[in-house]
Amino acid sequence: MILAVTPNAALDITYEVDELVPHQSHRVTAVRQRAGGKGVNVASVLARMGHPVMATGLVGGAAGNEIRADLEARGVVARFVDGGGNSRRTVNVVSAVHGDATIFNEPGPELTGPGWQSLVAGLDSLLGEVAATVVVLSGSLPPGLPDDAYAELVDVGHAHEARVIVDADGAALRGALRSGPELVVPNRAELARATGAQDLAVATAALRELGARNVLVSCGADGLVLMPEEGSGWHARLPAPLSGNPTGAGDALVAALAAGLVGGSTWQQMARDAVTWSAAAVLQPIAGEIDPADVARLARQVLMEVR
């Protein structure tokens, strides 16, 4: 079992337009609304790929009710904690002409200490019930929390002998490292913000000095670089980038890594799967979706190089 934790869950709204042009009025060709936030998307992808998973995190208000209802309708097992306030929304504008997305993320309701402790206690209780072997901590922290809040959740996971993956940005990523999560998954920009270094090797070394162990860096169209504590590193990529909606690609990548940890995959196989799942997600119009047929087809195209 995998637990996917989203401290700042969202109601995702996707608008499809022909082309996004600043200062212009746009005709929306399609509108989609569904439960979102990075950990929720991770859980959605894992469920679609047939892996036992439960989504948890903080939700509240009318938007929180819609998040719960959407996941129930899609058959994604979820047990959220009421965080108070109204859960945030995100607006994702997808351009058909350019094959890219422009995203507007609300910050979410400010969280007090008792609200956060309810999530900590909820995660501890869930791990006692379901005996999950992997915990995924994904996305931004709600406003009002200290930068090292994720470290407390990492500690809870380790207390239950679960391995922990952290997908966070900047100070939230740095703060999580004091508890030594098994795997951290920044993209190039997030890695630079967390370390102040542009060079991949220098930045990875800086993360390790802060407590990181295994590091995977997502490099967009250039695939990913996986640098484990022990053994060879890997650069995995497709021969050419895919056009589509990249919004949920990183979450699908994290889902593949969680599945690999549960299944005992090698680092090489996990890097290959992460590229494949991420690329398959780009082909979907909304985040949190993936087609197993695309995964099978793209897996044959992945290029692997020892790093």
Given this model, what pLDDT does residue 1 score? 95
Question: Which range of residues forms the domain containing residue 76?
Answer: 2-19+30-306
Report the CATH number that the domain containing residue 129 is assigned in CATH: 3.40.1190.20
Residue 307's pLDDT is what? 85
Question: Residue 51's pLDDT band (boundaries 50, 70, 90)?
Answer: very high
Flag whether 98 is in a domain: yes
Contacts of residue 129, defined as CB under 8 A and 6 or more positions apart, other chains included, come to none
Residue 243 inside a domain? The answer is yes
Residue 209: inside a domain? yes
What value does the mean pLDDT of the chain take? 94
Rounded mean pLDDT of 289-300? 96
How does pLDDT run across 70-100, given as a tens digit for each residue? 999 999 999 999 987 899 999 989 888 887 7
Active-site choice (70, 251, 273, 294): 251
The pLDDT of residue 247 is: 85
**pLDDT by residue (tens digit) across 145-178?**
999 999 999 999 999 999 999 999 999 999 999 9
Residue 243's pLDDT band (cuts 50, 70, 90): confident
The per-residue pLDDT for 42 is 98
**What pLDDT score does 169 carry?**
93
Give the number of domains in the chain.
1
The confidence band for 139, taking pLDDT boundaries of 50, 70 and 90, is very high
Catalytic residue check, 251: yes
* Residues facing residue 218 across a β-bridge: 187, 224
How do residues 99-135 score in pLDDT, each as one tens digit? Answer: 778 989 889 888 888 889 999 999 999 999 998 999 9
Share of the chain above pLDDT 90, in %: 82
294 domain residue, yes or no: yes
257-276: pLDDT as tens digits: 999 999 999 999 999 999 99
Quick check: 278 pLDDT over 90? yes
Give domain status of residue 24, yes or no.
no
| Domain-embedded: residue 127 | yes
Residue 101 lies in a domain: yes
Residue 107 lies in a domain: yes
